[in-house]
Each structure stands twice: as C-alpha cells, then as structure tokens.
Amino acid sequence: MGVQAPAGLLAIHTNYPGTVPADVDKALVAGEPPPSGLSAEETRAYKQLDRTLKHRVAYAKYMAARPQTLYGIADSPVGLAAWLLDHDDAGGQPAAAVVAALNRTTSATGELTRDEILDNITLYWLTNTGVSASRLYWEYKGGFWNAKGVSIPVAVSVFPGEAYQAPRSWTERAYPNLIYYNRVEKGGHFAAWEQPMIFAQELRAAFRSLR
C-alpha cells in the first residue's frame, strides 16, 4: 500500500520495515561480508539479517514456491501446530516469544501465554485457513527487507525481539518522508500479538501529527 500510495492513504505504520540499502541487500543475498563503512548499529543489523536468512526463511521460501502442497497442516492439528511453532531460528527471535509462552499459563506483564498460542492455532484449524494463509508468500514477489521506494509519510516502531532492529540511518534513507521512529522496550516479530498495549500506544504516537 505504501508503494502504491492510493488516493486517501495519508501514511503507513510498520514494525517490520524494508530499510536495507541495495549494496547491503546484495551482500546478504550473496552470503558476503558486510560492505565497508557500516556503523556499529548497521553492522549489528547486518549480522541479525544474515542470521535470519540462514536460520529462518526456509519455511517462507517453501510457502512462496509450493503453498498448496502443505496438506499436513490442513489434515492434522498437530501438523498445523508444528508448522506455526517451528520458525527454525535456532531458539532466538522471533519464535522465542512463542516457544516461551508454551510454559507460561499466566502473565502479569503482557507476555504471551499457552492459551493464547493455542487460540491462535485453533483459529487456523477451525477455519481451515492454514494453507490459504500461506498463499500470501506465493503472491508477494518483493524482497524481504530491501527499500521499496515509499514516498508517502511513514512511521516506524522498532521492537527489540524483531528479526532485525532497523537502524535509524537506513530508515531515513528508505523512507524520505519519515514522520516517526521509535525503539520500544519489549516485544518481537508478532508485536501486536505479543504486546498489544505497546503496539496500540505506538500507533497513536505514530499518527498523532496527522490528526
């Protein structure tokens, strides 16, 4: 939507921004060392992205190529649960918050609980939308994190448990009309699910200047 900029769209908010410069994206895809001249923050982001490419995107690539062959998640609730829980990220984010919730029955500080994980899996199961939901990956033909050329106003929230923490320097280059950038204290890839109050506060702050 940000790229298409349809009439009436004033701005967008994202917590998983496409900010990676072309030379950095090329090096990542090729498995090369980071380009020279990166700041400490940019180098950290590069390492996070490199780790994510090596450990996490295999399932996304499969859904992008053959989503209709995922019969197991339509025929078995156990298969569906396994597919939704296993992000192959070596025990790190973004699956860490989901996996940790399996051993948590209550939370006074907003973290996910076992029942919330089961509710999510059940929603896919009862509506039989596990396979159809995966078609999003097949329909989308863009890159994972590269800058897309968005020119309308953009607000960005950076969560500490995301696959990568977008540096402000990359964010400002990717979104020349950046109206809001903030790093929050907790939450990860599933930010609106993991930390709904923080996410709602970010949305309010992000669009306050456009009211």
pLDDT in tens, 45-95: 999 999 888 776 777 888 888 888 888 899 999 999 988 887 665 555 556
Cα–Cα distance measured from residue 51 to residue 106, given in angstroms and rounded to the nearest whole number: 31
Q: SS3 for 100?
A: helix
According to the model, what pLDDT value does residue 189 have? 86
Cα–Cα distance measured from residue 131 to residue 84, given in angstroms and rounded to the nearest whole number: 12
**How do residues 98-146 score in pLDDT, each as one tens digit?**
888 888 999 887 788 999 999 999 999 999 999 999 898 889 888 889 9
- 94: cis peptide before it, omega within 30°? yes
- Is pTM beyond 0.85? Reply is yes
According to the model, what pLDDT value does residue 154 have? 98
**How do residues 16-49 score in pLDDT, each as one tens digit?**
999 999 999 999 989 899 999 999 999 999 999 9
